[in-house]
Each structure stands twice: as structure tokens, then as C-alpha cells.
Amino acid sequence: MRLLKRNRQTIARLKNVFYGLSNASAVALHFAYTWTRHNGKIVVVDGIVIFEVCESSRRFSHLTIIYDPSELRRYFPEQEIESISLG
């Protein structure tokens, strides 16, 4: 199951922005994701996306997504959690 494909609506609300201390070309964005599932169920999960940018090409060189999977356990059976993909 791909989580984003089974949604009627996805909203990402920016909560915080963090800048890298040791890597000036990195930024982390803290989001609250709200998904309206195909069955009408609302799922809300916080997550952080870390972007690293290659200075020479000005393109993303690395992307890290961090979220607390325990939050998903409130919304999905255990067998579905094992196969969830955010993208």
C-alpha cells in the first residue's frame, strides 16, 4: 500500500524551519501532515524533511524523511503499517 495514493486529500502545514549548524546547505522543515483517506478517515502525523543542497549544482543532493511510526499505529492495523510508503 502506498499511503499517498490512497488519499482523497493531502495537506502539509509547515510548523518550523531549522537550519544546519555544521552544514550551511542543509535545512529541515517540520510539517504536520493531514491525510483524508479514500474512506473518509482523517490521519494526522508530524514529520521532518531534511533537505541537503549541492552548492555547485543548486540541486538537492540528499533528502531524509523522519516521522514517528507509533503515530500511525493509531490509524492503521499492524499489517498495514509494515507496508506503508510515504511516496
pLDDT given for residue 29 in this prediction: 94
d(CA 74, CA 87): 20
Rounded to the nearest angstrom, the gap between the alpha carbon of residue 85 and the centroid of all alpha carbons in its chain is 10
- Is residue 2's pLDDT more than 80? no
User: For the residues 49-71, what does the mean pLDDT come to?
Assistant: 85
- Is residue 5's pLDDT more than 70? no
Region label for 22, one of left (φ > 0), alpha (ψ between -120 and 50) or beta (otherwise): alpha
